[in-house]
Structure formats: structure tokens, C-alpha cells
Chains A and B, each alone.
Chain A
């Protein structure tokens, strides 16, 4: 189980990486933490001619604290969140999610930018940043642009990134201090990809709620109807009915067992958030 050959380019700056990526005569990929890409290379499932290593690009490791948001460089590792080595504006949700991804020896090298770019439907950060209404900062030959997290993933492993673009940072807005989060993940094993995952954010002061379902056979689903019901104070059976209706209406064609599992997980995420009020 060894990779096919490729050429290696050690990027020295974001601009250098973007320039290398711009060569469309061949298949180039950027390497961040490599915790998903290198397994794919080993399995010969991800063809690549040139691998552009971002690990020496210092600017991708910086974290900027802005007044309304925190901008995490794409190479910020899961362990940095887990260990509290980077600032948090999510009332503790991001550090918690950092503990939930795979295993320590993966978290020390895996990065938020790499994970988001892969857009695995069952991965943790994608659902999290959608819930937190973050922005993905992409950079390419035509410069920088900001993509709302909710519009970033367009399907399983499919993103709004264009050819030649890479993720430079994830900008997460500082969430109101009055907001409470609930996170529920159903995985068959500790550290495994989720079978179902939901994040609920409830702010009683502002009478708002936000509910996102991950591991849903495609991009995470923002459940607007459910959120309205939660904000309106619905609970238990009446809320379960709203969740179910919204999932059925999502067009994802969930099998009955999955529908039940997702409904349960969403309801529990909401309950966890509500219990923190």
C-alpha cells in the first residue's frame, strides 16, 4: 500500500503555493496535515502529479483576533483547539470539537483548513463552522474571496473552491456570550467518522436558534424550520415532528433507520443546548 510517484513542491509562501497550483497542465494537490490525503495516496485513490506542501508557509499558521471574528490560519491543528492554544470565540464549542476528531496522533497533524477543504460529509469541522456561520477565506490566482461556510460544501467531497484555489483561513465570528451550544455525535466507535452529528445553538436572550445536521450523505443541512421551532420554545414530541418533517423535505431520501437516527441526534443536540441555559 504505497503511493504512486509524484513530484514534490515545498511552498515557501501562499503566493508560491497559488502559483504552483495554477499550473493546470497537471494534477496538483495541496498537502496540509495529510491525515486524509496521505491515506488516499497510499491507497492510490487520489491521483496527483505534484504535491504542494503547505507546511512551511508560516502565514497559514497564524491566528488573528479581530473584534468581531477570529481568523484561524488553515494549518491550525485540531490539537491546537483541543489544547486551548488558540483563542476561542465560540463559547467552548470549537475546543470541544477539537477533542472529538479522530485520535490524538491525528489531531496533532490534521488541520482545520485541510479538513474543511476535503468536505467529508461526516467530518467535524465542516458542520461546526456552518453552525458558527464562519467564513472560508479562499485564495487563488485571482486573489482572495470569502465564501460563507454554509455555501462552501456543495456535496459530498465537493466544495465551492475553484481550480487553483486553496483555503487560507477560516474566520469564525465571535458568538454572543449568551448563546449556548449542544453537540451530539453518533459514531460507532470513539474517533470514527460520525453516523450522524448535530450542533444546536440557542440564544434565549436574542430568541434565536441555529441547528445544523452533519453526516447527512452530503453537505451539512441547516435546519431553518427546526431552528425556528426551537427559538419558539418547542420541545420533545412537537419538536421531533418538526425535525422529521424538515428532514423528509430536505430531499436527501434518508432510509427510515437513518431518518430516525438523525432525528434523535438533532433532538439531543437541542436538548443539550437548552439544558445549559
Chain B
């Protein structure tokens, strides 16, 4: 990419914004030299195993610790100074609750933390945990939304009036009028199953006291170390100045590592009290039962449309099982609120009434997971759009595209008060549709298939608010307003550049893409740029990596800081070359004046070691600090359409994906190779939601999937070769026109897969409205309309 991006005079680049540069971070990871939480050891360290509740809901009458293990088991009473985590939404009527480091009175889900057991090895720590006996007074388990909301239901939090964290409403336009004039009314009830985030590395914490610095150092496998320091300091009652939080290499995040966890607080508090290094490594069973869960949405939807399928108004009730506690900082209201708040998606639906209800149950708390809220919203609206199309007997692709916000309506304010900054949704959808040859599929469907399998086409679109800043987070009423991102760009005297940033790279390639931004501004080779992140004592205070924000936000900050350095380097370089400043240029890590040049190493040497060589009045040193906020803080809206072709085997319920296309637009792409891989990775996770992943609970509140033997994530044969088509509509409000990306791939798959399955099942008159679409559920849907015995 050789053209300049925003009109500024810049150097021709092969490694800058837009180049598919290979990643700087690969080398250590390929050599097995990444350093993840579990790879860390500190002398004198003890291993932690938590004693977790084996029951869903009970009062603790007593805890019996064997004599031999007294001194190795620690209860809430041993860390009384650790204040509970409290995550309260500013939404009116939000019911607050404490999430303590260790529970003392009552357990509220299977996996709730009761005690910390420490030993030289994890195996011994587990022995100790197993030897403790807790005397429980069992309470009825609130194991399901219907149980939680039934009259007279047992209460998860005793001091509440019911089991509802909060109910919020959106009421835009006159729904009664739309109801009266609609020619077609389509209702659907849908469900999205509860699952886990399943980073391949679980969570983990290592805390130890640094005597020399008089500070507690806490390593955590987290997506936002600075913010963890803030809340941890509050909960521990210490100054942030006496606390250092480090995220080492993090083996995948996806949201579950984007909360402040009671495990982090418990380990830090006990390490502080004992003055002993402690390490906890989450195992897979702990992850599946007790890390913050994902999804579990229920939808009651009504679309009011005209006879062509144009949707005039929409009513939605979104109910989310938010589990036992409100997670910090997102609160228990986030998932339902975000789903209801983006429900109309890419569609021009002027009238919209919604209720978003977050219910407390005896399950692991619900937290953010790739696609937060929007996977459910997309699943809901897109399943409904297909149902409307079937009702008016038209091609779903046509109905979908006709309902979209047209290009000429941009920027567009949605019925949910979102400001869509730019984009061409209909063209995106058409490109995805055309890539899978819809007429060809319809022709194939018209003929009987030789193997009895049913072919189906599905499509789903979404718009994704990304890189949202101050206004959006204030509107959501969270305890922290994630409005900006900093960067400190610092040259070394030998001419290399180190970028200190507040985001946290855990697979997104930010050690490369931020270097590309530096290259864009400075012409420095990407390989000469080091990105430092994940350490609260190293980088300026930043918000971390989540909400598809890091490239837009930290990229903007790096750009500004490096732009400032570029000016200074040009001044110094011109001076050293004895040339006029406007006659010199930056290229390949050098300043050029005609054929003459000085290297960044020479400039670094002058700036740091030989101030006498600097121009008159030029300050020594070569570093710049910048903080970036996008021009509009309501977000840059990425969007996409996914289209797929599946076969459904009516004899076994097995779904095979024959083709999967994504057409997406995340504004200016910094590194298309990385963008594409993020899309594909997101799709794989979305296919997990759509077809495989679920943690059902029984009526005792016991999770029924707690190992990889009963919890399936997609493997190499379950994910097709995804074809990715790119559109680039730069955001008018961000540096380089970058929009956020990363989560998006995971948003549409549940919708597109369910639509494709229902398209396949259409000749049978069967329909499914629940994820994951397991073979049993598909067969049940078929058997519901087809008498048993007629099949096979």
C-alpha cells in the first residue's frame, strides 16, 4: 500500500499500515520460549488449590480442617482485610451484591471459593482441599431462569426482593401503531446455551512480596493488568503505588480474563498476609465450572412487517442467566443490556421496544466473552429475519438486504440510539451472498439429494460497535470509563524504538501491528521496534485489550507519539546533515538529505549521549508520550455478513459445513494477514457456540460438562476453510480510519448456522431455535413434525 492514508505527507512504506508483515512475537512462541503464568516460579513459592463448593446453594454451618493441615488451609476469616468485589451498574434499580474473595456464610454456585489450601506441590494442595469437610445446610438450587423467576423462588441473594439483577427498557417509536398496521406478525422464542470461554491456557495468579521495592507483585493471566491493579488495591486496602500487576504471555483471553476475579484477590491477599509467594493455576475443570461463563440468553421476539417483509417494528424480551454474582467491572447487566442495545443491528427498524432482564441463579457468574451480547442479538434478529422471509415466501437474502440501513443513510442513528459512523451494509451482504452462488444452491435444493442429506443456505449480518470511548462507557454506567489509551515511545541511544503501551497482547499480533504504526510514522523497520505491554510498572496506565479496541486506541496513541518523535528526529537529522529541515526525509531507520543520511543510531547517540550535537534549544533525550481518544467516543462500527452452506443429515442430525464466507469491513486494515486470521479464529469460536459448546445444569445446580470429555470445542475438522472478503471503509473518526476488530468473527456463526439448518429443514416443515444445534436437538425438531418410524 503506497498511498498516504490521511493526506499527511508520509514515506512510501512496505511495512506500515496495510502491509501483511509477519509477526515479531512469533519467534519466542515457536521456540517454546513464551513465558506463561504456569511457567513462572519464585523461590519459596507454595502452590494453591482452592476448596470450592461442590454444591450449588447452601449455607455453611462449619468447616472441618484436619489437624495435620491446620496452617495450610485459609478461610475468609484469615483475610478479613480483603474487601468483597462489588460491581454495580448505574442502571436504575440495579440490585447490588458482594462477590467475596472467599465465601463464609453461603455458597452460591458449584465452584464458589471456600478456602485456600497451600502446599509445596499442587497435588498435595489438592489432597488438603479434599481432606476438608464442609458442613452444608442445603438450600434449593436456583438452577434455571424459570426457577429463578417463579413466584416464591428461593433467593440467590437473601437481601433482594427477587432474583433479578436489573431490568432495563428501550422504547423507541409507537409500537402500538406498528402492531396495528403490520400485515405480517412473526413471533419466535429462541435460546442460546450457556458455555465457557475456554482460552487454551486457563486463568492463573502468582503473587509475591518484593521487599526491596516494598510492593506486592501480582502476576495474573489477565487482559488488563493496570485496571486489575486499581481494583485490587481498593479491595486489599493498599495504595496502587505499592502494587504491581504483570500479565506475562497470556494463552488466550476472549473475555473471561477480562474481569477481576475472586481468585486474584484471594491469592494476593493471602500472599500479603503470609509474606509468601503463592501460585494458583486454574485447571480445565475449574475453568469450565468456575470461570465467568458466556451467553445463556433467551429471546421472545415479535417482528411486525409489511407483506414484502419490510420490518416496521420489533419487540424483544431478552432474558439472560447472569449467574450468582455481578462481575467487575462489567456488572451482571452487561450481556442483556448489550444484546437489547444492538438488536436492530444493520437494519433500518425505526420502532423498537425491548426489555432486558438479567437474572441471578446458582451458576458461575456470566462475564464477557468474544462478541459480548451481540452474538445473541445477531442470532435473535437474524433468525427472525429468516422467519419473516419464510412467512412472506421470499428469498431471505433479498428480505435481509432490503431491510438494511442503506449507504445513503450513513451516518445513521439507530432505534437503540447508536451512531453508525460509516459503512455499506447492503453491498457487504450482496458480496457474501454472491460468493456462495445462491442460485446454484437453490437449484440443488430443488432436486432430490442422492444421499438423503438436506442442503441449506444461511446468511447473517451484524454491526459491531468497536473502540468505543468515553461517551459509550459513561452511558453504560460502569465503574471504569475506558475512554482512552496511552503510549510512550522511547528510543534507545542505539536507535531502536521501544513502545510502552497499556494494552495487553495475547495473540492479536499487537507487538507487530503497533510496530507497523511506528514504521508508518518513522520509517523504522518493524523488526527494530519492541512493544512492551502487560506490566503496570513499565507502561503508562492503560485499559487493556478487550472490546475490539486495542488497534484503534493504542494504534492512535502510538501514531501520535511517533509523529512527535518524527518531528524531533527530522530536526536533529537535518541539523546533523547541515540541511534545511524541510529538505530531509525519513526512510529505513535513517534521515536522508539527498544521498546523505544519518541513522537513528546516530540520532539516538546525539539525543542521549551528546546533547552538544543537538540543534540550539533542542531538548536532549528522544521519547514522547501520547494519549489517544477517537474523534467520536461513541464507537467506530465494523460490520460483516457471513454466508454459509450446510448439509443436515436427517437420519443422524449431523451438520456439515460445505462453505463459509465472511465479507467484513473493519475500516482501514493495519495488517490484513492478522485481520483475516482474527476473523477466522472468531468464526471457529462462533461455530463452537452454534454447534458444540454447552454447560447444561441439572436441577441440583450441578454443571454437567466439566471436562473436555463432555465439553467440546471445535477441532481442525469442525472448522471449514473460511473464505474472507475484505471491504475497507475508513472510519471518519479514528486515526488512519481503523475500526476495531477481533471479536466480530464470533458474532454471526450461531445465526448463520441456525439459518442454514432451518433452510435445510424447510421442506420438512421443521425449525430449530436453540444453540448449540446438537444432533439430538435437530432430530427432535425433525421428529416433532414427522412421525417417528417414517425416518431413516
Contact = CB atoms under 8 A, between A and B. Distances in A.
Given a CB threshold of 8 Å, the question of whether A touches B is answered with yes
Interface of B: 121-123, 126-127, 130, 283-285, 649, 651-654, 692, 707, 709, 712, 714-718, 774-776, 779-780, 782-783, 788-789, 791-792
B780 A256 contact: yes
A2 B774 CA distance: 32
Contacts, number: 89
A267 B717 contact: no
Interface majority SS on B: helix, strand, loop or mixed?
A: loop
Contact of A257 (B130, B709, B776): B776
A4 B775 contact: no
Contacts of A267: 651, 792
Nearest to B786: A260
A247 to B, nearest CB: 11
Contact of A1 (B285, B717, B782): B285
Nearest to B121: A2
Contacts of A264: 649, 651-652, 791-792
18 contacts: A2-B121, A2-B126, A4-B127, A39-B707, A43-B285, A44-B130, A188-B774, A188-B775, A189-B692, A190-B717, A193-B709, A195-B652, A257-B776, A257-B780, A264-B652, A265-B651, A265-B652, A268-B651
B651 A260 contact: yes
Interface string A178-207: 000000001011111101100000000000
Contacts of A86: none
Contacts of B653: 257, 261
Contacts of B774: 188
Nearest to A267: B792
Q: Which of A195, A244, A260 has the most CB of B within 10 A?
A: A260
A186 B788 contact: no
B69 to A, nearest CB: 15
A39 B370 CA distance: 30
Nearest to B780: A257
Contacts of B127: 4-5
Given A189-B717, A240-B792, A1 B775 contact: no
Given A1-B285, A261-B775, A186 B783 contact: no
Nearest to B283: A1
A189 B712 CA distance: 8
Q: Which of A2, A3, A186 has the most CB of B within 10 A?
A: A2
Interface string A34-69: 000001000110000000000000000000000000
A149 B271 CA distance: 57
Contact of B776 (A2, A39, A258): A258
Contacts of A190: 715-718
A257 B775 contact: yes
Contacts of A188: 654, 692, 712, 774-775
B788 A259 contact: yes
Contacts of B782: 260
Q: Which of B653, B715, B779, B792 has the most CB of A within 10 A?
A: B792
B647 to A, nearest CB: 14
A76 interface: no
A170 to B, nearest CB: 25
A257 B692 contact: no
A268 B649 CA distance: 12
Contacts of A43: 285, 707
B58 to A, nearest CB: 21
A2 B122 contact: yes
Contacts of A263: 651, 791-792
Interface size class of A (residues with CB under 8 A): 20 to 34
A260 B650 CA distance: 9
A186 B780 contact: no
Contacts of A268: 651
Contacts of B718: 189-190
Contact of A3 (B123, B649, B783): B123
A77 B712 CA distance: 25
A227 to B, nearest CB: 17
Given A4-B127, A4-B130, A189-B712, A260 B692 contact: no
Contact of B284 (A1, A189, A240, A260): A1
B403 to A, nearest CB: 35
Contacts of B121: 2
Contacts of B715: 189-191
A4 B121 CA distance: 12
B787 to A, nearest CB: 10
Contacts of B714: 189
A3 B121 CA distance: 12
Interface in A122-150: none
Contact of B783 (A191, A192, A260): A260
A261 to B, nearest CB: 5
A39 B283 CA distance: 13
A257 B792 contact: no
B663 to A, nearest CB: 28
Q: Which of B122, B130, B788 has the most CB of A within 10 A?
A: B788
A256 B790 CA distance: 12
B774 to A, nearest CB: 7
Contacts of A39: 707, 709
A257 to B, nearest CB: 4
Nearest to A263: B792
Contacts of B789: 241, 244
A257 B126 contact: no
A130 B599 CA distance: 77
Contacts of A257: 653, 775-776, 779-780, 783
A264 B654 CA distance: 12
Nearest to A265: B652
Contacts of A261: 651-653, 775, 779
Given A192-B712, A257-B779, A186 B654 contact: yes
A67 B169 CA distance: 79
A2 to B, nearest CB: 4
B282 to A, nearest CB: 10
Nearest to B285: A1
A263 B782 CA distance: 15
Contact of A196 (B126, B652, B692, B717): B652
A241 B792 CA distance: 9
A27 B577 CA distance: 84
A4 B692 CA distance: 32
A188 B273 CA distance: 48
B117 to A, nearest CB: 12
Contacts of A191: 715
Contacts of B651: 260-261, 263-265, 267-268
A11 to B, nearest CB: 24
A183 B252 CA distance: 39
Nearest to A191: B715
A157 to B, nearest CB: 13
A191 B717 CA distance: 10
Contact of A260 (B122, B285, B707, B788): B788
B470 to A, nearest CB: 43
B291 to A, nearest CB: 14
B215 to A, nearest CB: 32
Contacts of A259: 788
Contacts of B791: 260, 263-264
A39 to B, nearest CB: 7
Q: Which of B652, B692, B709 has the most CB of A within 10 A?
A: B652
Interface string A238-254: 00110110000000000
Contacts of A196: 652
A246 B358 CA distance: 48
